[in-house]
Amino acid sequence: MAVAVGDQFLQGTTGRNTRGMLRVIILCTIAAAAVSSRLFSVIRFESIIHEFDPWFNFRATKYLVQHGFYSFWDWFDDRTWHPLGRVTGGTLYPGLMVTSGVIYHILRLLALPVDIRNICVLLAPGFSGLTALATYLFTSEMSDSPSAGLLAAAFMGITPGYISRSVAGSYDNEAIAIFLLVFTFYLWIKSLKNGSAMWGALTALFYGYMVSAWGGYVFITNLLPLHAFVLICMGRYSPRLYVSYTTWYALGTLASMQVPFVGFLPIRSSDHMAALGVFGLLQLVAFVEFIRYQLPSKQFQTLLRSLVLLIFVVAFGGLVLLTVSGTIAPWSGRFYSLWDTGYAKIHIPIIASVSEHQPTAWPAFFFDLNMLIWLFPAGVYMCFRSLKDEQVFIVIYAVLASYFAGVMVRLMLTLTPIVCVAAAMALSQILDTYLVAKSPSPQVQANGSAETVKNTASSMLPESLRSTRSPLVGIYSYTSKLTIVGSVTAYLLLFVLHCTWVTSNAYSSPSVVLASRSPDGSQHIIDDYREAYYWLRQNTPQDAKIMSWWDYGYQIGGMADRPTLVDNNTWNNTHIATVGKAMSSREEVSYPIMRQHEVDYVLIVFGGLLGYSGDDINKFLWMVRIAEGIWPEEVKERDFFTPRGEYRIDDQATPTMRNSLMYKMSYYNYNSLFPAGQAQDRVRGARLPAEGPQLSTIEEAFTSENWIIRIYKVKDLDNVGRDHASAMAFEKGNKKKRPSKRKGPRVLRVE
Amino acid sequence: MRSIALALSCLGALFTSSSAADSNLTKPLSSKQILSSSFKPPQVFRNVNLVRNVNLDKEYPRETINVIIENVDAQPQAEYYLPFEAGLIARVGGLEVRDKKDASKGAFQVEVVEYDTYSPTEFYLIHLPEPLAPSAQQTLSISYTVLSALEPLPASIGQMEQQYVQYTFSAYTPSAYPTSKQKTKIKFPSANIPNYTILPSPNADGTEDPQRQGSTFTYGPYSDIPAGAAELVSVRYEFTKPLIHATLLERDIEVSHWGGNLATEERYWLWQMAAYANPPTSALKELKVPLHVGVTNPYFTDDIGNVSTSRFRSNDREALLELRPRYPVFGGWKYSFRIGWDADLSGYLRRLKTGDGYVLKVPFLEGPRMAEGVEYGKVVVRVVLPEGAKNVKYETSVPLVSSDISLHRTFMDTHGRTTLKLTALNLVDEWRDRDIVVTYDYPWTAGFRKPLTIFAAVLVVFAVAWAVGSVDTSIAARQKR
Judge residue A640's burial from the number of C-beta atoms within 10 Å of its C-beta, 0-12 exposed, 13-18 middle, 19 or more buried. Answer: buried
Q: What is the pLDDT of residue A345?
A: 67
Question: Is B13's pLDDT higher than 50?
Answer: no
User: pLDDT tens-digit profile of B118-151?
Assistant: 667 788 889 988 888 888 899 999 999 999 888 8
Percent with pLDDT over 90 in chain A: 42
Spell out which residues of chain A touch residue B326, defining contact as CB-CB under 8 Å.
527, 530-531, 534-535
d(C-alpha B187, C-alpha A661), whole Å: 52
Spell out which residues of chain A touch residue B156, defining contact as CB-CB under 8 Å.
none
Residue B224 banded pLDDT, cuts 50, 70, 90: confident
Give CA A454 to chain center in angstroms. Answer: 47
DSSP category for residue B425: E
d(C-alpha A268, C-alpha B281), whole Å: 66
Measure Cα distances from B350 to A22, A232, A491, B346, B365 in Å.
Answer: 50, 80, 60, 7, 20
- Closest-CA residue to A437 (of A475, A472, A471): A475
Mutate to test the interface with B, among A112, A516, A538 (most CBs of B within 10 A): A538
Q: What is the pLDDT of residue A3?
A: 45
From the list B302, B335, B411, the residue facing A111 with the nearest CB is: B411
Q: What is the pLDDT of residue B397?
A: 86
B293, HSE (Cβ side, Cα atoms, 13 Å): 4
Contacts of residue B105, Cβ cutoff 8 Å, sequence gap at least 6: B98, B99, B129
Question: Is A288's pLDDT higher than 50?
Answer: yes
**Long-range contacts of A385-393, Cβ-Cβ distance < 8 Å, separation of 24 or more:** A389/A192, A389/A193, A389/A231, A389/A236, A389/A241, A390/A141, A390/A142, A390/A189, A390/A192, A390/A193, A391/A142, A392/A227, A392/A230, A392/A231, A392/A234, A392/A236, A393/A185, A393/A188, A393/A189, A393/A227
Residue B272 banded pLDDT, cuts 50, 70, 90: confident
Q: What is the pLDDT of residue A740?
A: 52
Residue A452 banded pLDDT, cuts 50, 70, 90: very low
From the list A48, A112, A113, the residue facing B305 with the nearest CB is: A48
Question: Is A361's pLDDT higher than 80?
Answer: yes
The CATH classification of domain B2-27+242-450, taken from the options 3.90.660.10, 3.40.50.12780, 2.60.40.1730, 2.40.30.10: 2.60.40.1730
Mean pLDDT of A334-353: 70
Mean pLDDT of A68-96: 90
Mean pLDDT of B25-34: 53
pTM of the model: 0.87
User: pLDDT tens-digit profile of A517-561?
Assistant: 777 777 788 889 999 999 999 999 999 999 999 989 999 999 999
Mean pLDDT of A51-76: 92
Is the Cβ of A112 closer than 8 Å to some Cβ of chain B? Answer: yes
Is residue B449 within 8 A of residue B456, CB to CB? The reply is no
User: pLDDT tens-digit profile of A385-433?
Assistant: 888 889 999 999 999 999 988 888 888 999 999 999 999 999 998 888 8
d(C-alpha B184, C-alpha B170), whole Å: 10
β-pair partners for A663: none
Q: Quick one: which H or E segment has residue B289?
A: strand B287-291
Is residue B107 within 8 A of residue B97, CB to CB? The reply is yes
Q: What is the pLDDT of residue A132?
A: 94
Question: Is A215's pLDDT higher than 50?
Answer: yes
Average pLDDT, chain A: 85
d(C-alpha A219, C-alpha A200), whole Å: 18
d(C-alpha B360, C-alpha B39), whole Å: 43
Question: Is B31's pLDDT higher than 90?
Answer: no
Mean pLDDT of A606-617: 88
Q: What residue of A is the nearest CA neighbor of B450?
A: A111
d(C-alpha B37, C-alpha B298), whole Å: 51
d(C-alpha B257, C-alpha B141), whole Å: 42
CB contact under 8 A, B327 and A537: no
Angle B1-B7-B11 (CA atoms, 0-180°, nearest 5)?
Answer: 145
Spell out which residues of chain A touch residue B272, defining contact as CB-CB under 8 Å.
none
Q: What is the pLDDT of residue B85?
A: 81
d(C-alpha A422, C-alpha A150), whole Å: 13
Residue B1 banded pLDDT, cuts 50, 70, 90: very low
d(C-alpha A219, C-alpha B394), whole Å: 65
d(C-alpha A93, C-alpha A216), whole Å: 11
Is residue A563 within 8 A of residue A78, CB to CB? The reply is yes
- The answer for B426, left when phi > 0, alpha when psi is -120 to 50, beta otherwise, is left
The architecture that CATH gives domain A528-732 is: 3-Layer(aba) Sandwich (3.40)
- Residue range(s) of every CATH 3.40.50.12610 domain in chain A: 528-732
Mean pLDDT of A181-204: 94
Is the Cβ of A534 closer than 8 Å to some Cβ of chain B? Answer: yes
Give CA A637 to chain center in angstroms. Answer: 30
Q: What is the pLDDT of residue A738?
A: 53
User: pLDDT tens-digit profile of B63-87?
Assistant: 999 999 999 888 898 889 998 887 7
User: pLDDT tens-digit profile of A244-271?
Assistant: 999 999 999 999 999 988 888 888 888 8
Spell out which residues of chain B touch residue A531, defining contact as CB-CB under 8 Å.
326-327
A143, HSE (Cβ side, Cα atoms, 13 Å): 28
d(C-alpha A123, C-alpha A195), whole Å: 34
β-pair partners for A253: none
d(C-alpha B376, C-alpha B250), whole Å: 10
- DSSP-derived pairing of the beta strands B109-115 and B33-35: parallel
Q: What is the pLDDT of residue A344?
A: 67
Which of residues A295 and A246 earns the better pLDDT score?
A: A246
Question: Is A150's pLDDT higher than 90?
Answer: yes
Mean pLDDT of A186-213: 94
Give CA B327 to chain center in angstroms. Answer: 26
Q: What is the pLDDT of residue A434?
A: 86
Residue A448 banded pLDDT, cuts 50, 70, 90: very low
Strand order in the sheet with B109-115: B33-35, B109-115, B121-132, B77-85
- Closest-CA residue to A548 (of A653, A666, A641): A666
**At B175, which amino acid appears?**
S
User: pLDDT tens-digit profile of B382-433?
Assistant: 999 999 898 999 998 888 888 999 999 888 888 889 999 999 999 998 888 8
Is residue B38 within 8 A of residue B115, CB to CB? The reply is no
From the list A527, A533, A539, the residue facing B308 with the nearest CB is: A527
Q: What is the pLDDT of residue A591?
A: 92
Question: In A505-525, which positions are buried (b, 16+ CB within 10 angstroms) versus exposed (e)?
Answer: eebbbbebbbbeeeeeeeeeb
Q: Tell me how close the Cα of B25 comes to any Cα of chain A, in angstroms.
A: 33
Question: Is B296's pLDDT higher than 60?
Answer: yes
Is residue A431 within 8 A of residue A152, CB to CB? The reply is no
A159-163, A189-193, A438-442, B232-236: which range is least confident on average? A438-442
Is the Cβ of A374 closer than 8 Å to some Cβ of chain B? Answer: no
Measure Cα distances from A154 to A41, A100, A338, A427, B279 in Å.
Answer: 21, 25, 31, 12, 59
Residue A183 banded pLDDT, cuts 50, 70, 90: very high
Give the A:B interface size as CB pairs under 8 Å.
49
d(C-alpha B368, C-alpha B371), whole Å: 10
Is residue B188 within 8 A of residue B217, CB to CB? The reply is yes
User: pLDDT tens-digit profile of A85-138?
Assistant: 888 888 899 999 999 999 999 999 888 899 999 999 999 999 999 999 999 999
Q: What is the pLDDT of residue B235?
A: 92
Q: Tell me how close the Cα of B305 comes to any Cα of chain A, in angstroms.
A: 7
A185-194, A474-483, B180-189: which range is least confident on average? A474-483
